[in-house]
Structure 1
Amino acid sequence: MSSYLEKNFEEWKEIRSRVDSIINGVFILAGGGLSLSISIILGNKGSGIITNEVQCVTAIAWWCLLASVIFAVLLKAYMVLEAFLLQINSQWVDKHLKLLNSIGWVIGIFVFFTLASGLCLMVYGAQIAVQA
């Protein structure tokens, strides 16, 4: 293995480690938010606290949180694919590095915005329920 490939490999390990940490946080936040909110909504559905507006906002939040988990899994799979391509054809990866990095960033931005939207909508739904 050449010095360039070794350096590239070490950089990829570091990036992958950071992405894994961030994505694991997404899984915890989104998964926890989904499981807790579903339990609370279903447990209190007949109590009158959960209005149609709260149900609608919460349902949209659930879809956003689910989308963040799906995009996070997609990002992890994409990072594995990119690392694999780097090992089998590093010249091609070097030639298309800007495009490959841009795709990863776009997926990552979708993860962030769907997670943030889902969490904000969960808070908004709770606010509506408290004010009712």
Structure 2
Amino acid sequence: GMTLLEIIGGRRNMDGDEESSEMFFPAWAATQISSGNAMEVLDKKLLDLNDAEAEQVRRAAIVGGWCIQDDEDERPTMGQVLQILEGVVDPPALPPLPLSLQTFALKASSLVFFWDKDPPAHAHDNGDHPSTPP
């Protein structure tokens, strides 16, 4: 689900270059999808779509929204995902905003994220040699 949303949006999960309200992309994307604004998630470089392509994006966004649900039982199977993406069956109703993302969606401007783009040198150790922390 997250990968599908990243492909549609042309963005990574967390993008420090974006405005803080859209910094944690999954929360922002899930909010847009559950509000019926799936096309807002689309990468702005791809806005020149015909109706058929726009419908495919809408289907993919809805499927992505269902695939990130907290409860595994609410997520579609891979077979169902393929049927929806291929147009064999209609996508289900708009997915709810997952509980795990609600805090991010509601308080995005007050959250601060820290991440290191480069893993520490000892993260690549294959276990043959004892590693010493930096």
Decide which structure has the larger Cα Rg and report it: 1
Higher relative contact order (CA 8 A, sep 6+): 1
TM-score range, shorter chain: under 0.3
More helix by share: 1
| TM-score normalised per structure 2 | 0.26
